[in-house]
Structure 1
Amino acid sequence: MSTAATRPATATAPPASADVVRQVVVVVGAVLAIVLAAVGSGAFGGTSVSGASGGALSADATPIAPATTAFSIWSVIYAGLVAYAVYQALPGQRAVDRHRRLGYWVAASMLLNAAWLFAAVQLGQVWLSVVVIVALLAVLVRIFLLVVRTPTRSWVDAVVTDGTMGLYLGWVSVATAANVAAALVESGFDGFGLPSGLWSTIVLAVAGLSGVAVAVVGRGRIAPMLSLVWGLAWVAVGRFSGQPLDTAAGVTALVAAAVVLVVVVVLRVRAERSGSALAPGEPTRAS
């Protein structure tokens, strides 16, 4: 990676009061995201995400919906967000350039996550939840680009920052496709008379292509691939063993997952052979 395309994650100016404010905002955003996630999951009673909007967002609502087990990845993502909030709040990270660039974007993603739960669960508005999750996806793309352009020199930062944000982006990419499909089904969209299997194939193919794009831009980063492949694999499980049964969607999901996986492996092998593989202390590109 050329030095013109990236900037080292080093302190560029002494810590300022604005840095403290940013750190606090990220921590508050993480707490809010966790609390509302617990509420949205039904941990405190009330309607859960799967039961909201008449079950429009449940695992069996559309051929694009992943099986229920897939959503357990949120526990890993939330743990990563909390870890990032704590890490970036450390005094030694206060003036680090990449946290200055990432902080408010990460906080925005947390607030949009909370807003999605409010729209989907509390308001029961599926189309509003689509607007929110598309905005969340756009923010995560911005975060990913910033992560790519400001590589770290720390293994801890690589795992906490790059790993968390990569998993977050990969999973939300799959969730966005599922959310849009749920909104269309709830609205009575009949696919212009075309078979549902064809629409499922198209949507899942687009999700796979988005994973390929992320892999190319990120030069074979592993974290986004892991969560995206995880989501697609569980879409396949849902279509082969749950309702609605849809063999075409299941096969497409598996093919899309395999393509993303192969592209990431190829990109990383090429990097190794070209001599652009990571040197010790430059773990970010592997995240």
Structure 2
Amino acid sequence: MTVLSPGPTRTDLVRNVVVALLAIAQVVVAVMAGDAVGVVAREYASPLLAADWAFVVWLPIYAGFIGYAVFQALPGQRARQIHRNTGWWMAASAVFNIGWVLSFGTGWLPLAELAIIGLLVSVALVFGRYCRTPAEGVVERVVVRGTVALYAGWVSMATPLGTAATGVWIGLPGTGALAAIAAVVVLLAVTAIVSWAVISGTAVVPFAVGAVWAIVGIALNDPPAGVVVAGAIAIVIVLAATARRISTAGYPVRAAWG
């Protein structure tokens, strides 16, 4: 028996508005911050620092987030239970994102670390909940599931990047053998977690793209040779997990795109 959600409520409307305002606010904050985050990241560089060009991934993430904000506010979408289950977490992710940009860009890296962990948890929860619910149509797959999955994949790898920078901020070595070994261990450990998420999730193609993009950004930013090798291994593992997930799924389209 299909259980229908009640019609749109005042809470739904408030959620729609809050998500839309925060979607715009995080873009405004990012634009105003400019290259401040990049400057700080280079100041506290580690072997896990991604190349500057890798951060262009924020463009489709921000654009997709705005598209999501519009989609979830459409009359036919407002009362859907999946938006009720995820909307406030998406709003929280925007708050954490704003907090991360502001704190990292001004050099408060421990505070930025807390913010990016909150961002990761928020986006991961949304991703997990969407994995349990099939998408309704191509637009939802592209605008909503694609954005959330790309975001989750990227932040999964961006979080240890931020952690490494925070480690340098507190006085841990950012260069040398110890830093390289730590980078390899962290990269492979996070890859194992990401691969588990791929094997058990849906919309795994954009999720894998986000994760692999971050790894490529690290590997091509002239890190120690060991990190390059670990990055290559990590990419192969994530791509193999993605191929396995799609090829063994009962509904490959849903596994690939949500």
TM-score, structure 1 as length reference:
0.84
Deviation at 1:11, TM superposition (A): 5.2
Which of 38, 43, 53 in structure 2 is aligned with 1:50?
38
Residue 103 of structure 1: how far off its partner (Å): 0.8
Distance 1:30 1:74 in 2: 13
Counterpart for residue 277 of structure 1: 251
Cα offsets for 1:80-105 (capped at 9, x unmatched): 00000011111111111111111111
1:26 aligns with 2:9: no
Cα gap change, 1:162 to 1:284, in 2 (>3 Å): farther
CA RMSD of aligned residues (A): 2.1
**Match for 2:67 among 83, 86, 90?**
83
| Match for residue 126 of structure 1 among 88, 109, 134 | 109
Structure 1 residue 69 and structure 2 residue 70: aligned? no
Q: Does structure 2 retain, via aligned residues, the 8 Å contact 1:26–1:107?
A: yes
1:154 counterpart = 2:142: no
Structure 1: which amino acid aligns with 2:37? V
Tell me what 1:99 maps to: 83
Q: CA deviation at 1:206?
A: 1.3
Counterpart Cα distance in 2 of 1:285 and 1:20: 31
Is residue 11–residue 95 contact of structure 1 (8 Å, CA) maintained in 2?
Answer: no
Residues 162 and 284, structure 1, Cα contact 8 Å, conserved in 2: no
Letter in 1 for 2:251: A
Instruction: Report what 1:3 is aligned to.
Output: none
Partner of 1:221: 204
* Per-residue deviation, 1:75: 0.3
The answer on whether the counterparts of 2:131 and 2:203 sit within 8 Å (CA) in structure 1 is: no
The structural deviation recorded for 1:114 is 0.3
Larger radius of gyration, structure 1 or 2?
Answer: 1
Aligned pairs for 1:113-192 (under 5 A) are 113-122=97-106, 124-190=107-173
Match of residue 5 from structure 1 = none
Would the alpha carbon gap of residues 135 and 234 (structure 1) be closer, same or farther in structure 2, given more than 3 Å must change?
same
After TM superposition, the structure 1 = structure 2 runs for residues 227-266 of structure 1, keeping only pairs within 5 Å, are: 227-239=210-222, 245-266=223-244
Counterpart CA distance in 2 for 1:169 and 1:115 is 18
Structure 2: tracts of 5 or more residues without a match: none
Q: Does 1:36 align with 2:14?
A: no
Deviations 1:154-174 (CA, angstroms, capped at 9, x unpaired): 111111111000010111111
Shift of 1:217: 2.1
Q: 1:242 is matched with which residue?
A: none
Structure 2 CA distance for aligned equivalents of residues 101 and 284 of structure 1: 20
Q: Structure 1: 5+ residue runs without aligned partners?
A: 1-7, 43-47, 240-244
Separation in structure 1 between the aligned mates of residue 4 and residue 254 of structure 2, nearest angstrom? 17
Give SS of 1:18's match.
helix
1:286 positional shift: 2.2
Greater share of helix residues, 1 or 2? 2
CA apart distance, 1:196? 2.2
Q: Deviations over 1:150-203 (max 9, x none)?
A: 222211111111100001011111110110001111221249x96322111101
Amino acid at match of 1:32: A
How far apart, in 2, do the equivalents of 1:259 and 1:232 lie?
12
- The answer to whether the Cα contact below 8 Å between 2:46 and 2:179 also exists between their aligned partners in 1 is no
Residues 1:16 and 2:9 aligned together = yes
Deviations 1:223-265 (A, max 9, x none): 11011001101111012xxxxx401011101110110111110
- Partner SS, residue 152 of structure 1: coil
Q: What number of residue pairs does the alignment pair up?
A: 256
Q: Please state how far the C-alpha of 1:285 moved relative to its aligned partner.
A: 3.2
Aligned to 1:267: 245
Check conservation: 1:220, 1:265, Cα contact below 8 A: no
